Amino acid sequence: MANISSQIIASLGAILLGIVSRKLLQIGSRPADLPPGPPTIPILDNLHLMPDHDVNLQFQKWAQQYGPVYSLMLGTKTMIILSNNRAIKKILDKKSAISNDRMEIYIGQKIASRGLRVLMMGYGQTWRMVRRIMYDYDAAVNPDVSQRDQFAFGAGRRICPGIHVADRSLYLSISRLQWAFDFKRPLDSNGKDVVPDPTQVTQGFLASPPPFKAVITPRDADRAKIIRHDWETAKRNDLDPETLQWKVRQ
């Protein structure tokens, strides 16, 4: 009896070990209904392929190899990469009902904002109501994707509701700078323009161009005089004398 019991226990242990091993080996394997992507290995799947810098360049290489829509298997998570404007428009706008939800972020959404932070709000009736109140920007929903020159504010139903404010603020700032100053590339020791590398960006979740040199000069003496006058007026009336930041209005 003891031998039979030992054999049963050993058999059950072997079966359990086999089931666990199979489950572990399946982690990261790409289901057939997902977009293509880099080959996976057991457990690590695509984690070993993720670079520690210049992720954007690696994403571009994968897009050239696997197409504008591809998938990355990262442990128990799956990442779908959209790498051109038509793919973004198709998935996030035309199929937004199935692509615009959010995973639950308990602290940021439930505790910090009582479920009312629209950025992390799950897709549902409350989110649709808030979106109707906050968002109305014709260019962002234009079916002609060529009218969108960038997707920094997102796309589809999850587009930033403040895009119209940011867009107009940027327009005012840039137009005023262009009115006041000439912007030129610096010259190297051989007298040639120093051109920033457009593929280089800062590392991290929010990427931006790294600092680069430029030659900035007033367009003429009259504009320089106006700039100095406005700066002195702002310092006197609107800026804190110690920090030169905007005064806090009581």
pTM of the model: 0.55
**For residue 62, how many other CB atoms are within 10 A of its CB?**
19
Nearest Cα residue to 77 out of 30, 20, 113 = 30
Residues 139 and 18: their CA atoms lie apart, in Å, by 55
Give residues with Cβ within 8 angstroms of 59, minimum separation 6. Answer: 81, 83
User: Phi, psi at residue 45, to the nearest 5°?
Assistant: 45, -110
Decide if 201 contacts 207 (C-beta within 8 A): yes
Highest mean pLDDT among 81-90, 92-101, 124-133: 81-90
- Indicate the pLDDT class of residue 223, thresholds 50, 70 and 90: very high
**What confidence score (pLDDT) does residue 157 get?**
65
Amino acid at 206: L
**pLDDT at residue 4 is higher than 90:** no
Overall average pLDDT of the 150-157 stretch: 61
Give residues with Cβ within 8 angstroms of 19, minimum separation 6. Answer: none
**Mean of the per-residue pLDDT values for the chain?**
79
